[in-house]
Each structure stands twice: as structure tokens, then as C-alpha cells.
Amino acid sequence: MVFKRRDRKPILRAALEFLWPRGGWARAFHYVRHRLRRLPDSPERIARGIWAGVFTTFSPFYGVHFVVAGVIAVIMRGNIFAALLSTFFGNPLTYIPIIATSMFTGYWMLGLDPSRLRFRPHQGDDEPTVGERFADAASALWHNFKAIFTPDRADWSSLRVFYDEVFFPFMIGGILPGVIAATIAYYLSVPLIRAYQHRRKGVIKAKFDALKAKAAAKAADITQKSD
């Protein structure tokens, strides 16, 4: 295949680059910002796509954030590519504050005890952290999937607990902070994108006028020589 990598990236290297991309997160952020500003669409449609992408990062649907952001962008008539790029708002540097904010909000809204939430291990405490609960849920899902094709028996009890104590509070609690963060991103994006597009149009027009002037001067020079 023409676009296939000749040298396959090792799994460990791919995982490390996910946590810390080449050039650092600052460079990755500037790349995403550059791509968003250069999208060929109206500032409002791009900003609606950004809204969808940022809002999605406050949901517990890890692994399908692209799909969720794309669907929301279609519903809002926003730019789908902007929505996909904006899911970058959720990254290893922001996951913990996003999850913590959503979980605490969800526990507060549902009247649950937030003291049970653990985001890092506590000495002498056997209560699993939120990250460990996500890992256990993924392991249980994989076990139940394999049980379809093997004699093993599926067990949904741990997943029910995960849904009640983590997934559902996260999903409900992420709505309010997600709307707030996405709306802030929208109103910041519209004027910035509009200003960038106007400046870019001015630069392109100036280059075009310079080429026209150069062509006209060349034509006049040829006419003078022929006379």
C-alpha cells in the first residue's frame, strides 16, 4: 500500500507518544489550533464543531469520543472535522480534572456520598481508584466477550456496580461542566477564527495583487521592447 508505514511503530513507543507526543503537548496544541483556524468553513460552524468536541470530553464514552463528537456536530450543524480535532481537549494532562469535576458533580446531583471517590491510592485504604474501576470494567467486558466463544460464564455483577457508582454519575455529572466548558470554547473561538480568516484573506489578496502588478509590469515591458 502506498500510504502504509514501512517501519511499524512499536506498541510501547505508540503508548508513550499518546501520553507525551513528539515535541510535547504544547506543540500538539499549537498544531490542533492551526488546523482549526485553517478549516474552510464559517467561524460559527467551526465553533459549533469545537463545542461538540469539548463537550464530548466530559462524557465517559472513552474509545468512541470521535463518534459521539461527530454525531453531536451533525445535530448542531457544526463542522465535523473541528469536532474531531477538539476532542484533543481531553488528553492525559486534562483527564484527571475532567473526570474529577464530572464525578463530583454527578455524585452531588444524585445525592451519593463523594467520600467514596478515590483518584489516587490512599495508604491503608482498599477502596479502588476511579482509574482502577475503569480498568476492572474493561477487563470484565473482555471476559464476558470471550465467554461467548468459550465455556466461561459471563459475570455482569461488577459491571452493574461500575455503572451505578462510576459510569452513570460520570455521564450525568459531565453534562453541566461540559456545557460550561464547551460554551466558553465556542464564544472564544468565533471572534478568533473570524479575525484569522479575515487576516488570511487579506494576505492572499495582497499576494494576488502583487502577482497581477508583476504580470502587468512584465507585459508593459514586453510591449515597450516590441515598439
| 173 within domain boundaries | yes
- From the list 131, 126, 137, 54, the residue with the least C-alpha distance to 99 is 131
CA angle at residue 125 from 174 to 100, to 5 degrees? 15
Q: How far apart are CA 93 and CA 25, in angstroms?
A: 9
The pTM (predicted TM-score) of the whole model is: 0.72
| Rounded Cα gap, residues 18 and 41, in angstroms | 29
pLDDT digits (tens, 9 = 90+) for 1-57: 444 445 555 544 544 444 445 555 455 555 555 566 566 778 898 899 999 999 999
Position 141 in a domain: yes
CA-CA distance, 58 to 146, in Å (whole number)?
Answer: 30
Q: Is residue 211 part of a domain?
A: no
Instruction: Please report whether residue 26 resides in a domain.
Output: no
Is there a contact between 86 and 52 (Cβ–Cβ < 8 Å)?
Answer: yes
> What is the biggest distance separating any 2 CA atoms in the chain, rounded to whole angstroms?
98
Number of compact structural domains in the chain? 1
- Supply the range of the domain harboring residue 49: 40-194
* Residue 105 falls inside a structural domain: yes
**One-letter amino acid of 156:** W
pLDDT for res 137: 86
Q: What is the pLDDT of residues 129-173, one digit of tens each?
A: 888 888 888 888 888 888 888 888 888 888 888 898 899 999 999
Distance, CA of 80 to CA of 46 (rounded, Å)? 8
In a domain, 76, yes or no: yes
Give the HSE-up count for residue 149: Cα atoms under 13 Å, Cβ half-sphere. 4
- Specify if 168 maps to a domain: yes
Q: Give the separation between CA 111 and CA 115, rounded to whole angstroms.
A: 12
Q: Is residue 47 part of a domain?
A: yes
Q: Which residues contact 123 (CB under 8 A, 6 or more apart)?
A: none
The residues, ordered by sequence, that sit 6+ positions from 155 with a Cβ below 8 Å of its Cβ are 140, 143, 144
